[in-house]
Amino acid sequence: MVKRRDFLKLGAAAAAGAPVLAGTQARAKESETLMRGGADYSYQSGSEREAIPTACAMCASRCAAIGYVENGYVLKVEGNPDSQRTLGAMCAKGQAGINQVYDPDRILRPMRRVGKRGEGKWEQISWDEALNDLAGRLGKLRDDGHPEKFMFHHGWISASAERLINRVFLPAYGTATIANNSCLGQSARRTAHELTWGGNTDSWDFDKTRYVLNFGSNVMEADTNHVALARRLSFALTDRNVKMVTFDVRLSNTAAMSDQWIQIMPGTDGAVVLAMCNVVMVEGLYSGRGEEFLQFVRATENPHATTAEKIAALKAHLAEFTPEWAEQISGVDADVIREIAIEFATAGPACLISSRGASAQYNGVETERAIQMLAALTGNIDNPGGRCVGAAPNWVYPTGPENKPEPRRLEILNGAPDAAALPMFGIGHQALRMIKDGAAGRPEIYLWYNYNPAFSNAGIQENIDILKDESLLPFTVAVTPFYDESAALADLILPDAVYLETFDFEDGISPTQVPEYYIRQPVVSPQGEAKDFKDVCCDLANRIGLSLGFETAEEFVEQSCKLTPIIKSKAGGFSGMLKRGVWHDRDAAPAYYSYKKIVPKEALQEDGVIFDEETGVYWNWKTAGASSEIEALAAGYQHTVGAFRGYVGQSIRGTVYECFKPDRANKTGYFELYSASLRAKGRSPMPTFATTPEHQEMASGDMILTSFRVNVQTLSRTQNCRWLDEISDDQSVWINPASARLFSIADGDQIKIKSGLGEIEATAKVTENVIPGVVAMPGHGGHWEYGRYASGEKAPFGLENDLPYEKHIWWNRDSGTHPNWIIDNTAEPISGQQRWMDTVVSVRKA
pLDDT at 749: 96
Q: What are phi and psi of 543, to 5 degrees?
A: -70, -25
- pTM reported for the whole predicted model: 0.93
Closest to 710 in 3D by CA, of 214, 100, 253 = 253
Residue 37: per-residue pLDDT: 83
Q: What is the pLDDT of residues 40-96, one digit of tens each?
A: 999 888 999 999 999 999 999 999 999 999 999 999 999 999 999 999 999 999 999
Confidence of residue 3 (pLDDT cuts 50, 70, 90): low
pLDDT reported for residue 6: 52
Bridge-based pairing of strands 703-708 and 774-778 is: parallel
**C-alpha–C-alpha distance, residues 768 and 528, integer Å:** 49
pLDDT band with cut points at 50, 70 and 90 for residue 807: confident
Mean pLDDT along residues 353-361: 94
State how beta strands 211-215 and 350-354 pair. Answer: parallel
Q: Which residues pair with 504 in a beta bridge?
A: 520
Q: Which residues lie below 8 Å from residue 564, measured CB to CB, with a gap of 6+?
A: 393, 394, 395, 396, 517
Average pLDDT, the chain: 93
Pairing of β 750-755 and β 758-766: antiparallel
Res 539 pLDDT > 90: yes
What's residue 279's pLDDT?
98
Angle at the Cα of 426 from the Cα atoms of 635 and 645, rounded to 5 degrees = 35
Of 24-28, 463-467, 758-762, 784-788, least confident by mean pLDDT is 24-28
Residue 716: the pLDDT is 81
pLDDT the model gives residue 13:
42
Alpha-carbon gap, residue 215 to 815, rounded angstroms: 30
Say if strands 178-179 and 73-79 run parallel, antiparallel, or are unpaired: unpaired
Assign 24 a pLDDT band (cuts: 50, 70, 90): very low
Coil, helix or strand for 315? Answer: helix
Burial (0-12, 13-18, 19+ Cβ within 10 Å), 587:
exposed
Confidence (pLDDT) at 32: 60
- State the pLDDT at residue 609: 97
Mean pLDDT of 579-589: 95
Q: CA dihedral defined by 438, 824, 426, 681, rounded to 10 degrees?
A: 100
pLDDT, tens only, 718-748: 999 999 999 988 889 999 999 999 999 999 9
Q: Would you say residue 22 has pLDDT above 60?
A: no
Mean pLDDT of 166-177: 98
The answer to whether residues 105 and 794 touch, using CB atoms and an 8 Å cutoff, is: yes
What integer pLDDT is reported at residue 697 of this predicted model? 85
Whether 783 contacts 790, CB under 8 Å: yes
Residue 769 pLDDT: 97
Instruction: Tell me the Ramachandran region of residue 240: left when phi exceeds 0, alpha when psi lies from -120 to 50, beta otherwise.
Output: alpha
SS3 618: strand
The region of weakest confidence among 33-42, 464-473, 475-484, 612-621 is: 33-42
Mean pLDDT value across residues 15-29: 40
What DSSP letter does each residue of 220-246 carry, written as one string? Answer: TT--TTHHHHHHHHHHHHHHS--EEEE
What is the per-residue pLDDT for 2?
59
Dump pLDDT digits (tens) for 677-688. 999 999 999 999
Which pLDDT does position 677 carry in this prediction?
95
pLDDT at 36: 76
Whether the predicted pLDDT of 307 surpasses 80: yes
Q: Angle 323-330/334-347 helices, nearest 10 degrees?
A: 120
Mind listing the pLDDT tens digit for each residue in 765-784? 999 999 999 999 998 889 99
pLDDT tens digit sequence for 361-380:
999 999 999 999 999 999 99
492-537: pLDDT as tens digits:
999 999 999 999 999 999 999 999 999 999 999 999 999 999 999 9
Cite the beta strand spans of 685-823 per DSSP E: 703-708, 733-735, 750-755, 758-766, 774-778
Buried b / exposed e over 414-438, threshold 16 CB at 10 Å, is bbeeebbbbbbbbbbbbbbbbbeee
| Continuous H helices in 414-525 | 431-437, 453-456, 460-468
